[in-house]
Amino acid sequence: MNAIAKAISNEWDIDDIPLGYEFLIKEARQWSLYISEGIKNEPTHSIEPRLFLITPNQTLY
């Protein structure tokens, strides 16, 4: 887990909930995540945070 994901997991006290991070842009598009374009000194593209709720039978809620 990278440092940012670990900090969020600790701050939110969600160690038992999996976090996704460091997606490739190609993977983000497969998940239909919103991809913003960077301005000035930002990265060329950024994947915007999303929350997916998954039921116990592994389907999206």
What's the number of domains the chain is made of? 1
Contact 8, 2 (CB under 8 A): no
pLDDT at 32 > cutoff 80:
yes
Q: What is the domain range of residue 61?
A: 23-61
Please check whether residue 5 lies inside any domain of the structure: no
- Please report, for residues 25, 32, 50, the alpha-carbon distance to residue 54 in angstroms, rounded to integers and kept in the order given: 22, 16, 13
Please check whether residue 16 lies inside any domain of the structure: no
Please check whether residue 32 lies inside any domain of the structure: yes
pLDDT at 23 > cutoff 90:
no
CB atoms within 10 A of CB 47: 20
CA dihedral 37, 61, 5, 21 (to 10 degrees): -50
Please check whether residue 53 lies inside any domain of the structure: yes
The per-residue pLDDT for 49 is 80
Please check whether residue 3 lies inside any domain of the structure: no
Q: Can you give the C-alpha Rg of the chain in angstroms?
A: 14
d(CA 9, CA 36): 24
Please check whether residue 15 lies inside any domain of the structure: no
Can you tell me the mean pLDDT for 21-44? 89
